[in-house]
C-alpha cells in the first residue's frame, strides 16, 4: 500500500522592513510575524542598505519617503550587489510618480498602507514567487506609464525640483487638506508642513496655496 502524497510545506520567507516610523514597523512585524520571519529593519537609507546586504532577505518591504532620502535609493543600491532580493513598496503615498519611479527602479510591486495584514502577507508571498503585485488603483498608473501615455506625469523639470516629501505635501494641499490634516496624514508636525509648503512656493515661484493647487491640478497630481 502506497503512502499518501502530501503537499510540501511552504518555506517561511525572510522579510526586511524599511520605514522611518518605529511604531509602524512594530505593527507590521507583529502582524506579519505569523506568516514570515522578519529578519531585520531599518529607519534610514544608509542603515537599510548596509543591513539588507548583511542579511539578504527574500523580500524587502520598502517605504518610499524617508528623512534622508527615498526608498528608491535603497532599491537601486541593493539591486546592484544583490539582484536576488525582491522589493515590495509599502507606502502612504499613492502618487503616480512615486509608483512609477519605484517600479522603474526595479520593485516587484507597490501597495499602500491601507492594505490588510492578510493581504500584505499574500502580497509578500507573491512577490517572492516572482509575481507583480499592485493595489488596483496603482496598477493603472503602471499600465499608463509603460504604455507611454502622454497624460502621466513622468518627467517634469519644475516637478523635479521638489523632494518626494514636498510632492506629498503639495498633493494633499491641492486636494484641499488643511495643514493639520496634512500633518496627521504624513505623521509629521504642522511646523514641518509649513516649512515644506514654504519651500514648494519658493521653488515654484508662487505666492499662495491656490496657485499651487491649480498648478498641481494642471499636472494631474491631485
Q: Are strands 86-91 and 59-62 parallel, antiparallel or unpaired?
A: parallel
- Encode pLDDT of 55-65 as tens digits: 999 999 999 88
Q: Are strands 65-66 and 69-70 parallel, antiparallel or unpaired?
A: antiparallel
The residue among 80 and 75 whose pLDDT is bigger is 75
How far apart, in whole angstroms, are the C-alpha atoms of residue 128 and residue 60? 10
Give 42's pLDDT tier (boundaries 50, 70, 90). very high
- The alpha-helical segments, DSSP class H, found in the chain are 22-32, 45-55, 71-81, 96-105, 117-128, 136-146, 164-174, 179-186, 190-204, 209-218
Of 2-6, 40-44, 50-54, 158-162, least confident by mean pLDDT is 2-6
Taking residues 182-197, report their average pLDDT: 87
pLDDT score recorded for residue 2: 53
Residues 91-98 have a mean pLDDT of 82
**How much is the mean pLDDT over the chain?**
84
Question: Which of 20-24, 84-88, 167-171 is the least confident region?
Answer: 167-171
- Where does the pLDDT of residue 23 fall: very low under 50, low under 70, confident under 90, or very high at 90 and above? very high
Q: SS3 of 32, please?
A: helix
pTM of the predicted protein model = 0.62
- Does the structure show a pLDDT above 70 at 122? yes
- The average pLDDT across 180-194 equals 86
Instruction: Count Cβ atoms below 10 Å from residue 104 Cβ, excluding itself.
Output: 13
pLDDT surpassing 90 at residue 184: no
Q: Does residue 178 carry a pLDDT above 90? A: no
How confident is the model at residue 6, as a pLDDT?
52
Amino acid at each position: 500500500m502506497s503512502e499518501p502524497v502530501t503537499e510540501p510545506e511552504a518555506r517561511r520567507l525572510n522579510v526586511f522592513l524599511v520605514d522611518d516610523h518605529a511604531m509602524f514597523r512594530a505593527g507590521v512585524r507583529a502582524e506579519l510575524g505569523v506568516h514570515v520571519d522578519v529578519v531585520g529593519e531599518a529607519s534610514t537609507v544608509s542603515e537599510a542598505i548596509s543591513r539588507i546586504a548583511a542579511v539578504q532577505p527574500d523580500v524587502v518591504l520598502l517605504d518610499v519617503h524617508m528623512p534622508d532620502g527615498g526608498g528608491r535609493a535603497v532599491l537601486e543600491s541593493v539591486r546592484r550587489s544583490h539582484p536576488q532580493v525582491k522589493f515590495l513598496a509599502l507606502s502612504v503615498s499613492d502618487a503616480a510618480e512615486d509608483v512609477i519611479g519605484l517600479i522603474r527602479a526595479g520593485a516587484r510591486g507597490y501597495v499602500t498602507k491601507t492594505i490588510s495584514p492578510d493581504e500584505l502577507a499574500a502580497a509578500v508571498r507573491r512577490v517572492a514567487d516572482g509575481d507583480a503585485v499592485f493595489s488596483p488603483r496603482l496598477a493603472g498608473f503602471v499600465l499608463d506609464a509603460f504604455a507611454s501615455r502622454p497624460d502621466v506625469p513622468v518627467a517634469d523639470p519644475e516637478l523635479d525640483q521638489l523632494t518626494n516629501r514636498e510632492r506629498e505635501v503639495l498633493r494633499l494641499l491641492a486636494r484641499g487638506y488643511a495643514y493639520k490634516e496634512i500633518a496627521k496624514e504624513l505623521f509629521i508636525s504642522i511646523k514641518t508642513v509649513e516649512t515644506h509648503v514654504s519651500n514648494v512656493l519658493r521653488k515654484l515661484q508662487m505666492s499662495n496655496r491656490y496657485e499651487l493647487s491649480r498648478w498641481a491640478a494642471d499636472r494631474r497630481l491631485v
